[in-house]
């Protein structure tokens, strides 16, 4: 018990600091940093307990605030900087977690224990519910109960899929049915400190995020351009699909993000990637460095509205106050203008055969509308829309003829991030369909071999 007191005391204050940082983004209708990125900083200890407590406190924060203010818990207190700690302590009190008098804040909350619990009961009676989840909005309950599997992409530059599967099989890992280099583990599996992650043999990457590189499907000897590359997960995925051959040029305009990109490339051991501190829109398609580029991956800045669950932005109070909190019209219009300009520029490279445009957004304005706006320009350069993963059941919104070629993913429905993917294929390229069929055949062959190997092991 002696070790438990200071541990809880410290974790709660750590959670309160993170909560303060997260709530600071409310005025911008966006978290200043994702909850996970704040929790998984090197300075944070007891990460699993910290993540659980911050998520649960945020989940029930509207209820907690209602109760705290109804009993005047924060009134008359001089140090307003401790509000978040009182929210955390009230959370633990409501959920009957042990609170010991290890600090003056704990002592004060314990002195108001009866009043806080009575206020909770009154609120439940007022709302005519029998459990605390009944106090949450329906949409919020759906998102918060969305158990997304832990996906990990195998970095085949360092390790084979079968080798990774063998090392992670005891954790329940299975090979994804759609993407052959992706492993699926149970929701909540924590691999952040796993040796395979630290050495770059596997990457913690959502299923949706792995789709664009697979759709681009560059040949090993090609020259490929990743237009907006940081943090680099898709960049190193391309390098792996090319078996470490050819060349991937990765562009990143922002200096801080450039360092993240370089770190990712180094960790992956991808020697066929050339990182450039460069604005993609200022590249000359006819310059000697780019006139042989055969494929371009364009995953530009977007609203990120599809990563709500992954970032845990749906836990922010502003999301409960305004369900459209990420859909600020002016911001979306600015992003869409940049996205359209970048896509037109990508289609202007003389030797390019395939361009993949993807976003982690669910907004039509950034997705179907952008694609539709460049169709005439695309046709002038002999491009047409290719069908993205034909077997995927969920297509683009039917807002123009051809939207059935596009792909959408949804967090609740597909148990991954909300993503949008479009593929442009130059009509003079006759090999794309043959390459797609060949790769599908190779995937099926690997699946068959894996099943036979598993059966042999069982026998």
Tell whether 103 and 164 lie within a shared domain: no
Q: How far apart are CA 57 and CA 228, in angstroms?
A: 35
Question: Active-site positions?
Answer: 360
Confidence of residue 397 (pLDDT cuts 50, 70, 90): very high
Confidence of residue 141 (pLDDT cuts 50, 70, 90): low
Number of domains in the chain: 2
Q: What is the mean pLDDT of residues 265-272?
A: 97
Confidence of residue 73 (pLDDT cuts 50, 70, 90): very high
pLDDT at 325 over 70: no
Pick the more confident residue, 72 or 31.
72
Cβ burial of 275 (10 Å; 0-12, 13-18, 19+) is: buried
Which pLDDT does position 30 carry in this prediction?
46
Ranges assigned E (strand) in 58-163: 150-154
Q: How far apart are CA 182 and CA 60, in angstroms?
A: 34
Answer whether residue 449 is part of any domain.
no
Which pLDDT does position 140 carry in this prediction?
56
Which pLDDT does position 305 carry in this prediction?
82
Dihedral in degrees, nearest 10, Cα atoms 381, 218, 235, 287 = -50
Question: Domain of 321: which CATH number?
Answer: 3.40.50.150
Tell whether 88 and 27 lie within a shared domain: yes
Q: Which of 136, 167, 191 is the last residue of a domain?
A: 136
Answer whether residue 453 is part of any domain.
no
pLDDT at 398 over 50: yes
Residue range of the domain that includes 43: 4-136
Tell whether 226 and 337 lie within a shared domain: yes
Which pLDDT does position 324 carry in this prediction?
41
Of the ranges 189-193, 280-284, 332-336, which one carries the lowest mean pLDDT score? 189-193
Pick the more confident residue, 311 or 95.
95
CA distances from residue 72 to 19, 66, 69, 109, 350 in whole angstroms, order as listed = 21, 10, 5, 12, 68
Answer whether residue 455 is part of any domain.
no
Residue 83 makes CB contacts below 8 A (sequence gap 6+) with 74
Tell whether 58 and 179 lie within a shared domain: no
Tell whether 117 and 254 lie within a shared domain: no
pLDDT at 35 over 90: no
pLDDT at 326 over 80: no
Which pLDDT does position 143 carry in this prediction?
53
Which pLDDT does position 89 carry in this prediction?
96
Say what percent of the chain tops pLDDT 70: 85
Q: Mean of the per-residue pLDDT values for the chain?
A: 87
Cβ burial of 83 (10 Å; 0-12, 13-18, 19+) is: middle
Which pLDDT does position 321 carry in this prediction?
44
Q: How far apart are CA 423 and CA 389, in angstroms?
A: 10
Of the ranges 162-171, 260-269, 292-301, 410-419, which one carries the lowest mean pLDDT score? 410-419
Tell whether 100 and 185 lie within a shared domain: no
Tell whether 125 and 202 lie within a shared domain: no
Q: What is the mean pLDDT of residues 370-384?
A: 97
Q: What is the mean pLDDT of residues 408-412?
A: 89
Answer whether residue 373 is part of any domain.
yes
Pick the more confident residue, 130 or 392.
392
Which pLDDT does position 282 carry in this prediction?
97
Answer whether residue 8 is part of any domain.
yes
Answer whether residue 385 is part of any domain.
yes
Q: Are 127 and 135 in contact (CB under 8 A)?
A: yes
Q: What is the mean pLDDT of residues 105-117?
A: 94
Answer whether residue 459 is part of any domain.
no
Half-sphere exposure of 391 (CA within 13 A, CB side): 7
Tell whether 70 and 11 lie within a shared domain: yes
Tell whether 258 and 377 lie within a shared domain: yes
Pick the more confident residue, 124 or 452.
124
Residue 383 makes CB contacts below 8 A (sequence gap 6+) with 347, 355, 424, 425, 426, 427
Confidence of residue 138 (pLDDT cuts 50, 70, 90): low
Tell whether 59 and 11 lie within a shared domain: yes
Tell whether 54 and 191 lie within a shared domain: no
Answer whether residue 147 is part of any domain.
no
Predicted structure pTM score: 0.74
Tell whether 229 and 128 lie within a shared domain: no
pLDDT at 2 over 50: no
Q: What is the mean pLDDT of residues 422-432?
A: 78
């Amino acid at each position: 018990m002696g070790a438990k007191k200071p541990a809880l005391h410290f974790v709660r204050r750590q959670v309160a600091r993170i909560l303060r940082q997260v709530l600071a983004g409310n005025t911008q209708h966006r978290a200043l940093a994702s909850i996970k990125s704040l929790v998984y900083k090197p300075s944070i200890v007891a990460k699993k307990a910290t993540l659980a407590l911050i998520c649960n406190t945020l989940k029930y924060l509207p209820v907690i605030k209602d109760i705290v203010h109804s009993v005047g818990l924060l009134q008359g207190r001089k140090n307003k900087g401790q509000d978040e700690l009182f929210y955390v302590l009230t959370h633990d009190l409501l959920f009957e977690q042990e609170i010991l008098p290890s600090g003056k804040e704990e002592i004060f909350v314990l002195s108001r224990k009866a009043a806080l619990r009575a206020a909770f009961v009154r609120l439940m009676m007022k709302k005519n519910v029998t459990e605390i989840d009944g106090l949450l909005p329906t949409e919020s309950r759906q998102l918060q109960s969305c158990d997304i599997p832990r996906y990990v992409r195998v970095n085949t530059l360092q390790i084979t899929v079968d080798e990774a599967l063998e090392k992670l099989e005891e954790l329940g890992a299975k090979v994804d049915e759609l993407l052959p280099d992706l492993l699926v583990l149970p929701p909540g599996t924590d691999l952040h400190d796993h040796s395979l992650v630290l050495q770059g043999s596997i990457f913690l990457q959502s299923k949706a995020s792995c789709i664009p590189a697979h759709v681009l499907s560059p040949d090993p000897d090609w020259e490929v351009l990743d237009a907006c590359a940081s943090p680099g997960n898709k960049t190193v995925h391309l390098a792996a699909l090319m078996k470490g051959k050819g060349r991937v040029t990765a562009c990143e305009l922002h200096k801080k993000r450039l360092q993240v990109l370089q770190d990712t490339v180094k960790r992956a051991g991808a020697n066929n990637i050339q990182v450039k501190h460069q604005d993609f829109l200022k590249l000359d398609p006819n310059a000697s460095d780019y006139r042989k580029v055969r494929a371009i991956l364009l995953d530009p800045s977007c609203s990120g509205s599809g990563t709500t669950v992954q970032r845990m932005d749906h836990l922010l109070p502003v999301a409960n106050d305004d369900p459209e909190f990420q859909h600020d019209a002016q911001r979306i219009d600015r992003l869409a203008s940049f996205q359209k300009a970048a896509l037109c520029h990508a289609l202007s490279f003389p030797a390019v055969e395939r361009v993949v445009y993807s976003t982690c957004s669910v907004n039509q304005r950034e997705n179907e509308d952008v694609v539709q706006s460049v169709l005439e320009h695309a046709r002038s350069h002999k491009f047409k829309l290719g069908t993205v993963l034909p077997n995927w059941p969920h297509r683009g919104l039917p807002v123009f003829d051809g939207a059935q070629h596009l792909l959408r993913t949804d967090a609740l429905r597909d148990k991954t991030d909300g993503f949008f993917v479009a593929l442009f294929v130059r009509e003079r390229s006759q090999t794309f369909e043959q390459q797609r069929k060949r790769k599908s055949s190779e995937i099926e062959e690997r699946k068959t071999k894996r099943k036979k190997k598993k059966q042999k092991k069982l026998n």
